[in-house]
Amino acid sequence: MGYVKTHLGVLTTAAVFMILSSVLQPLSLGGFIPFIDRVMVGTKITIPYKEVPVVITNLVEKINSTPRNKLLGAFIIFYILIFTLRAIFIYCQQYLMREVSQRVVRDIRNL
């Protein structure tokens, strides 16, 4: 742990990118199935639970009232944005972790 302490800032930044990429993980294609059904089939999105925050209820009502062609355009843009952000976060995390490991190995060899 003594070798890593000097590189704790880079390691912490890598951990932040790891958390950010993990937060975006649930927004994968499986999470968009109700939206895909809304766009392709035209079925309304329903919420199976009664106790849902008002923000989510309003969002679902807005999605259900949006025309399907506009919803498709918004879905494509949002999906590309989420995947791009997640890829950037993963890349930064891997780059910084590799940097920390190389610095630690360098420090050990310079003893």
pLDDT value of position 90: 96
Mean pLDDT of 1-29: 86
Nearest Cα neighbor of 42 from 77, 66, 18 is: 66
pLDDT surpasses 70 at 109: yes
Burial of 41 (0-12, 13-18, 19+ CB in 10 A): exposed
Note whether 13 and 99 are within 8 A (CB).
Answer: no
pLDDT value of position 1: 64
pLDDT value of position 40: 84
Chain length of the chain: 111
More confident residue, 93 or 39: 93
Note whether 65 and 45 are within 8 A (CB).
Answer: no
pLDDT value of position 10: 93
Place of tokens 């944005």: 81
